[in-house]
């Protein structure tokens, strides 16, 4: 038996923050992004509108800003160790996030088999963001199905890790889920719940496949 472990990033692998907030902090635009995060959380804007507005905020964004944001971000401890353990067990790990692909894909270097985010143009921006490439909660399930086909597993072999409303549909689609520092949207839906700063401890709740 093998499994596919599906990890959310914002609020899950990243503790108490999101990639857009960390990126905007490098540009001195944190308060503007906090307002956008509040707007999408309240349902006043959707993912395409959010993406378009952060794209406009990030007109001066460079790869150096993105790298600094990634390196300074408050990641949970032992992410790479968990993914190395998953790989050594013959299982798969992937990150599926609504955040920009140019940030999410940096996690491939940490050992993820796949990393999917909202499709943004390369940094620095020379073309607009395409709304059709912006992910939403339902897209996480679609991507999970695609990854299952790629790795030769089924939904029944999946474990999802998440923290918020954007993970509800994925939690409902797979048999095992781990709420990581989760809010009220998913805390009661998950198979397991973890509060803390060490991904290994969250992973131990599901452990190696039997």
Query: How many other C-beta atoms lie within 10 A of the C-beta of residue 43?
Result: 8
Residue 96, pLDDT above cutoff 90: yes
* Confidence band of 209 (pLDDT split at 50, 70, 90): low
Q: Is residue 191 within 8 Å of 132, Cβ to Cβ?
A: no
- pTM surpassing 0.85? yes
> Taking 80 as the threshold, does the pLDDT of residue 185 lie above it?
no
Give me the mean pLDDT over the 100-113 stretch. Answer: 98
pLDDT tens profile 117-127:
999 999 999 99
| pLDDT for res 161 | 98
Helix orientation angle between 47-57 and 30-41, rounded to the nearest 10 degrees: 170
d(CA 199, CA 77) in angstroms, rounded, equals 6
User: In the sheet that 92-100 helps form, which strands lie side by side, from edge to edge?
Assistant: 114-118, 92-100, 4-7, 158-162, 176-180, 192-194
Q: Predicted confidence band at 55 (pLDDT cuts at 50, 70, 90)? A: very high
Return the closest-CA partner of residue 70 out of 119, 121, 34, 123: 123
Question: What's the pLDDT tens digit per position in 160-172?
Answer: 999 998 999 999 9
Asked whether the predicted pLDDT for residue 210 surpasses 80, the reply is no
Q: Is the pLDDT of residue 135 over 70?
A: yes
């Amino acid at each position: 038996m093998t499994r596919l472990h599906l990890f959310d990033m914002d609020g899950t692998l990243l503790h108490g923050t999101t990639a857009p907030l960390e990126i905007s902090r490098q540009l001195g635009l944190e308060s503007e992004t906090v307002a956008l995060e509040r707007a999408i959380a309240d349902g006043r804007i959707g993912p395409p509108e959010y993406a378009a507005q952060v794209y406009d905020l990030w007109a001066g964004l460079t790869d150096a800003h993105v790298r600094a944001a990634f390196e300074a971000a408050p990641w949970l401890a032992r992410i790479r160790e968990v993914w190395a353990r998953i790989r050594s067990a013959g299982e798969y790990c992937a990150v599926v996030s609504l955040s920009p692909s140019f940030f999410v894909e940096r996690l491939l270097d940490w050992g993820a088999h796949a990393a999917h985010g909202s499709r943004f143009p390369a940094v620095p921006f020379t073309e607009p963001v395409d709304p059709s490439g912006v992910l939403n909660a339902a897209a996480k399930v679609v991507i999970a199905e695609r990854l299952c086909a790629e790795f030769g597993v089924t939904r029944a072999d999946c474990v999802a890790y998440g923290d918020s409303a954007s993970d509800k549909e994925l939690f409902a689609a797979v048999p095992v889920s781990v709420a990581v520092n989760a809010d009220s949207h998913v805390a009661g839906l998950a198979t397991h719940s973890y509060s803390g700063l060490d991904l290994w401890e969250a992973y131990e709740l599901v452990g190696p496949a039997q």
